[in-house]
Amino acid sequence: MKGRRVASTNDIKNGMVLNLDGQLWQVLWFQHHKPGKGNAVVRTKIKNVLTGKTVDKTFNSDSKVDTATVDRREMQYLYHDGAGFVFMDTSTYDQLSLPDDVVGDAKDYLLEEQTATVATHEGNPLFVDLPASVELVVTYTEPGLQGDRSTGGTKPATLETGKTIQVPLFLTQGEKVKVDTRTGDYLGRVGN
């Protein structure tokens, strides 16, 4: 296998891509764990880059894993052309069309002209990394109700990307909100 790189499980970080039995897995979450008895381990939640399947995997601490060389580039999202999402490398102006399955859930938070990190491995697009949160306008929600600030209730709201999230009852159509791109959670209102 060309470009094989080996790392210690102690070096695992979020976003790292591991090559496990010829398949690429992105680390979503990790935790070093030292039980009372026995050897330390590294617990991880990893996502198969091609299938999107997420699994929990535990590695023995200080064992070796193959890592994949991943090229990450800042790119600007231009448009969806029916066949895929077209991104432009902001330094070379090269355009790259990514299939819908590579973009995955990122499509729920992508606006035209927004920048994102596009990861490729040996020229093949793997995934799109967005900032931890984005600001989007609420295009539809039931009218806001005064006095509902203290109830803690929520209602569905449709964002300008078409994604529906839960927002507090007082929010109104046309307001800009901050949304967590990993969970889809409402993080707050953005002042105009």
Whether 181 and 144 share a structural domain: yes
Give 101's pLDDT tier (boundaries 50, 70, 90). confident
- Asked if residues 48 and 98 have their Cβ atoms less than 8 Å apart, the reply is no
Which helix (H) or strand (E) segment is 100 a member of?
Answer: helix 100-103
Which residue range(s) make up the domain with 25?
Answer: 4-68
Give 124's pLDDT tier (boundaries 50, 70, 90). confident
pLDDT tens, position by position, 49-81: 877 789 999 999 888 999 988 888 999 999 999
Give 10's pLDDT tier (boundaries 50, 70, 90). confident
> Could you count the other beta carbons within 10 Å of the beta carbon of residue 151?
11
Write down the pLDDT at residue 1.
41
- Of 80, 110, 129, which marks where a domain is finished? 129
Mean pLDDT for 169-188 is: 92
What's the CATH number where 179 sits? 2.40.50.140
Give 147's pLDDT tier (boundaries 50, 70, 90). low
145 or 29, greater pLDDT: 29
Whether 85 and 99 share a structural domain: yes
Distance of CA 29 to the CA centre of its chain: 12
pLDDT tens, position by position, 152-167: 789 999 999 999 999 9
